[in-house]
């Protein structure tokens, strides 16, 4: 039986906020980590996206702060995150949890105009208890002397593996040098994977931590996963038929590059779908508007790069479509994890072109599941055979409008031998 929040020795003010949000039972990661945080120990936690890890550290920290265990007019909590979207999401969730708790917060991130920077500076000067920050903007503020981290009691690294993948390890250690020393603060490190680089970081920033590791890198059981084996040229018509047949309210279509995202977006616009695109070329205010419109239903289909695979908390996404197989097996888990959240069901569909069969086979092996492969609609023609154990070499060719090469020739890695008939044909061609 899941443990209830009212059985976890939380303050009445915090329980009132949870009741207002209809939060009653703790998820496994919350059940296992919250007592550790409440007891004052450092923590190394491994849990995938969508498991409730944000609340797993916010709730015990808020509980401690609202008991008066904080330094007035100083930053008490620093939460480091890889992206501005995740910083905004955590700030919003904190505000909801702390509705009846006298705790203030600010999200600090780059990508905006001068007004955003001024707003963040003003909030910091006014005094806040919790700062949620991306590394780049925080270092800029530290270099200008606009922020004091000397009294931080809680240092949280959320999605630490993602921050390391993005090259932030030196930034993290630079920020760490402004904090109270290890052992004089409580440090919580959350990661979706427990790679060696995470363990190396943990040794530098954690003090005798307790560890919690949930089963990682496995999509939720309630996600209906399927994969269409297809040619690249069949993808666009296939997704049009899927959207027409299923009519989902909210769909995220993931593609491997921002150029392809832009092309798919243009095609969907021509079909009069309520569609928006999300990629790294957008300004922050444009990203915010896209997410806002997607949440409120003004946008039905969001075409995106992996910029939204992590850190965007939208609970009612009906379907995720991997227009391209992700480059990394972990990215597959994070992509499909956008659906079937908050104990709801969801659908995840992947298009597997010939060149991606080996990569998709690695995904199936990694998640220890043979994903269902329905037949293509008859109108699309035949599909290639599925052979995930075979690698393909891609011949060079001219790019089409989607950035894909025309006249691709996919070959087995073993070279072909010419038959006598082929040699004779070649000779005749030369004579002609």
Reported as a single tens digit per residue, the pLDDT across 49-79 is 667 889 999 999 999 998 876 777 789 999 9
Is 418 a domain residue? no
Q: Where are the beta strands (DSSP E) in 255-323?
A: 275-278, 301-304, 319-322
Out of 213, 247, 278, pick the residue that ends a domain: 213
> Angle at which helices 169-176 and 135-143 pack, to 10 degrees?
40
Domain encompassing residue 279 = 223-390
Is 402 a domain residue? no
Is 415 a domain residue? no
Is 246 a domain residue? yes
Is 295 a domain residue? yes
SS3 202: helix
DSSP string, 107-147: EE--SS-HHHHHHHHHHHHH--SEEEE-HHHHHHHHHTT--
Q: What is the model's pTM?
A: 0.64
Residues 122 and 209 in one domain: yes
Residues 267 and 352 in one domain: yes
Residues 200 and 89 in one domain: yes
Query: Total domain count for the chain?
Result: 2
Q: Residue 403 has what pLDDT? A: 39
Q: Residue 79 has what pLDDT? A: 98
Residues 179 and 133 in one domain: yes
| Low-confidence spans in the chain with pLDDT less than 70 | 49-50, 69, 112-113, 215-217, 307-313, 342-343, 392-432
Is 115 a domain residue? yes
Is 405 a domain residue? no
Residues 159 and 238 in one domain: no
Residues 37 and 55 in one domain: yes
Q: Residue 398 has what pLDDT? A: 42
Residues 206 and 245 in one domain: no
Query: Number of helices (H) and strands (E), helices first, in the chain?
Result: 15, 15
Residues 180 and 230 in one domain: no
* Structure-block tokens of residue 58: 């916010």
**Cβ atoms 405, 259 nearer than 8 A:** no
Geometric angle at alpha carbon 260, from 256 and 266, rounded to 5°: 140
CATH value at residue 144: 3.40.50.300
Q: Residue 211 has what pLDDT? A: 95
SS3 227: strand
Contacts of 169 (CB under 8 A, 6+ apart): 163, 197, 201
Q: Residue 217 has what pLDDT? A: 60
Geometric angle at alpha carbon 185, from 182 and 186, rounded to 5°: 100
Residues 141 and 233 in one domain: no
* Structure-block tokens of residue 51: 């498991």
Q: What are phi and psi of 248, to 5 degrees?
A: -70, 150
Q: What pLDDT digit, counting tens, does each position of 269-326 carry?
A: 988 899 999 887 887 788 888 988 998 999 999 999 876 656 566 778 999 999 999 8
Residues 192 and 245 in one domain: no
Is 44 a domain residue? yes
Residues 146 and 250 in one domain: no
Geometric angle at alpha carbon 110, from 178 and 55, rounded to 5°: 70
Q: Residue 342 has what pLDDT? A: 66
**d(Cα 286, Cα 112) in Å, to the nearest integer?**
10
> What share of the chain has pLDDT > 90, as a percent?
53
Residues 227 and 205 in one domain: no
């Amino acid at each position: 039986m899941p443990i209830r929040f009212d059985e976890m020795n939380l303050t009445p003010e915090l329980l009132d906020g949870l009741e207002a949000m209809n939060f009653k039972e703790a998820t496994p990661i919350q059940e296992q980590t919250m007592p550790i945080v409440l007891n004052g120990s450092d923590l190394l936690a491994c849990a995938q996206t969508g498991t409730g890890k944000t609340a797993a550290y916010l709730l015990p920290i808020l509980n401690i702060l609202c008991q008066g265990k904080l330094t007035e007019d100083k930053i008490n909590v620093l939460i480091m995150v890889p992206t501005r979207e995740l910083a905004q999401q955590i700030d919003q969730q904190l505000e909801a949890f702390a509705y009846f708790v006298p705790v203030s917060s600010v999200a600090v991130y780059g990508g905006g105009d001068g007004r955003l920077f001024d707003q963040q500076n003003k909030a910091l000067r006014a005094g806040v208890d919790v700062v949620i920050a991306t590394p780049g903007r925080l270092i800029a503020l530290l270099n200008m002397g606009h922020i004091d981290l000397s009294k931080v009691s809680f240092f949280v690294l959320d999605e630490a593996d993602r921050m390391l993948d993005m090259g932030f390890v030196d930034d993290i250690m630079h920020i760490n040098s402004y904090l109270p020393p290890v052992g004089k603060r409580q440090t919580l490190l959350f990661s979706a994977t427990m790679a060696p680089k995470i363990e190396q970081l943990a040794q530098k920033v954690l003090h005798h931590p307790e560890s919690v590791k949930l089963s990682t890198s496995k999509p939720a059981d309630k996600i209906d996963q399927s994969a269409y084996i297809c040619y690249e040229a069949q993808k666009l018509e296939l997704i049009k038929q899927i959207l027409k047949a299923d009519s989902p309210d909210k769909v995220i279509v993931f593609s491997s590059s921002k150029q392809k995202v832009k092309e798919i977006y243009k095609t969907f616009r021509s079909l009069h779908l309520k569609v928006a695109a999300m990629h790294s070329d957008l300004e922050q205010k444009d990203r915010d508007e896209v997410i806002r419109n997607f949440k409120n239903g003004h946008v039905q289909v969001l075409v995106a790069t992996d910029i939204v695979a992590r850190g965007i908390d939208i609970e009612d996404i009906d379907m995720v479509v991997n227009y391209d197989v992700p480059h990394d097996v972990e990215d597959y888990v994070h992509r499909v994890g956008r659906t079937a959240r908050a104990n709801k069901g969801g659908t995840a569909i992947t298009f597997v072109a010939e060149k991606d069969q080996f990569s998709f086979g690695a995904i199936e092996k990694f998640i220890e599941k043979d994903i269902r492969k329905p037949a293509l609609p008859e109108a699309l023609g035949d599909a290639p055979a599925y052979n995930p154990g075979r690698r393909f070499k891609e011949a060079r060719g001219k790019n089409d409008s989607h950035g894909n090469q025309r006249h691709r020739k996919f070959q087995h890695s073993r070279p072909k031998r010419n038959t006598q008939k082929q040699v004779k044909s070649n000779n005749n061609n030369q004579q002609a």
